[in-house]
A and B are shown apart, each in its own frame.
Chain A
């Protein structure tokens, strides 16, 4: 009798196990189908519409035009992009004039970083870490996945063939909100550390950046957007610090005067402030 009971237990376990696997498989497959439904070409078109027609048309958004700042950011970007290898995107990084310490990714490899973040960073390596993290979101298609999940693929396709302004603004608002789930943040962090290593930059710069952001949380103000939308900083700092570098890894520092870049951002801010007083 014991044998027949054991056999029954085994049968139940196998059946439940198969049901578990089936649900796990199909839930994963549904997500994959969702990802595949937006091609890279469509994502680029979507990115172009959202950036050109919405963000750059917004009078509140002012782009940083200072050549020193622009040259520094482009130099960091160039080094990172060179290390990516094969990629679907032509990365475009733009600096928004704002005191916020934040950066975000739009579809099609469009990345925006706030000048407040540049001022807060102590070195170009820290900016590179933030940009590499944003590139991680782009390479893992986190933004389109979130848009498709929250707004539906049909709506995204509808704006490719000319959507109205309200819809466009809503899609842009969803895309610019920095809220990714923890799994996506972890994926972007992992990608960032690997990319930093390939670019001969120290991946631990991500940890130093987040640690300093964390230290400021005692007096969180509205400019600390990055920390409010990026939870669990402690575990992320820990992960970055524990990242295992290859034994023969050597860093190659950026050949730039970072203080000069910060001064240029500050000078731009002062000029803007004087202009507004006038």
Chain B
């Protein structure tokens, strides 16, 4: 059976409070990223907490919070690995600054920069009540938030009066 999706809400259908909640997921991610620099895992924990706080919110908010959460996982792991590598160089006598290390740090700077720019764009779009799809994570988040699960029926409770 082909996967069915809920209709996407349009900006005029999304209340300001939901837009701000959706925007908050990206902004909170930056704040946590700054706070979590010495220990990159902190921003991941903050993203998970924020996601569960807003899980029962509308699909629009769920989409954005989920996208903010899962997009931060690979970068957090990469940052954590860089931290581990740097500490090994600093503390161990066996490790040294190699061209590979420099290359990895350079790549990480570029990746973090792109992540930051994408985050800003996504936050602005969310505030406007628009969807913004990250590479890979956008599709995953859309599927997560808008798929109509099997057994769910689109029951209509509110109907207009018979005129």
Which residues of A line the B interface, CB within 8 A? Answer: 1, 4-5, 8-9, 11-12, 16, 19-25, 27-28, 31, 181-183, 186, 231-232, 234-235
Nearest to B135 among chain A residues (CB) is A8
Nearest to B78 among chain A residues (CB) is A16
Contact A24 B93 (CB under 8 A): no
Contact A182 B93 (CB under 8 A): yes
Interface residue ranges of B61-106 to A (CB < 8 Å): 93-100, 102-106
- Determine the chain B residues whose CB is within 8 A of the CB of A183 once the complex forms: 96-98
Give Cα distance in the complex from A248 to B96, angstroms.
34
Q: Is residue B148 contacting chain A, with contact meaning CB distance below 8 A?
A: no
Residues of B within 8 Å of A, CB-based: how many?
A: 22
Contact bitstring B1-44, A, C-beta under 8 A = 1, else 0: 00100000000000000000000000000000000000000000
Contact B99 A28 (CB under 8 A): yes
Which residues of B line the A interface, CB within 8 A? Answer: 3, 93-100, 102-107, 110-111, 135-136, 139-140, 143
- Determine the chain A residues whose CB is within 8 A of the CB of B105 once the complex forms: 23
Chain B contact residues, majority secondary structure: helix
- Determine the chain B residues whose CB is within 8 A of the CB of A25 once the complex forms: 99, 103
**Distance (Å) between the CB of A237 and the closest chain B CB?**
12
Contact A23 B139 (CB under 8 A): no
- Determine the chain B residues whose CB is within 8 A of the CB of A20 once the complex forms: 103-104, 106-107
A-B contact pairs, 13 of them (CB 8 A): A4-B139, A5-B139, A8-B135, A16-B107, A19-B110, A20-B107, A21-B103, A22-B106, A24-B99, A24-B103, A27-B106, A28-B99, A182-B94
Nearest to B143 among chain A residues (CB) is A1
- Determine the chain B residues whose CB is within 8 A of the CB of A4 once the complex forms: 139
**Distance (Å) between the CB of B124 and the closest chain A CB?**
23
- Determine the chain A residues whose CB is within 8 A of the CB of B97 once the complex forms: 181, 183
Contact A23 B106 (CB under 8 A): yes
- Determine the chain B residues whose CB is within 8 A of the CB of A21 once the complex forms: 103
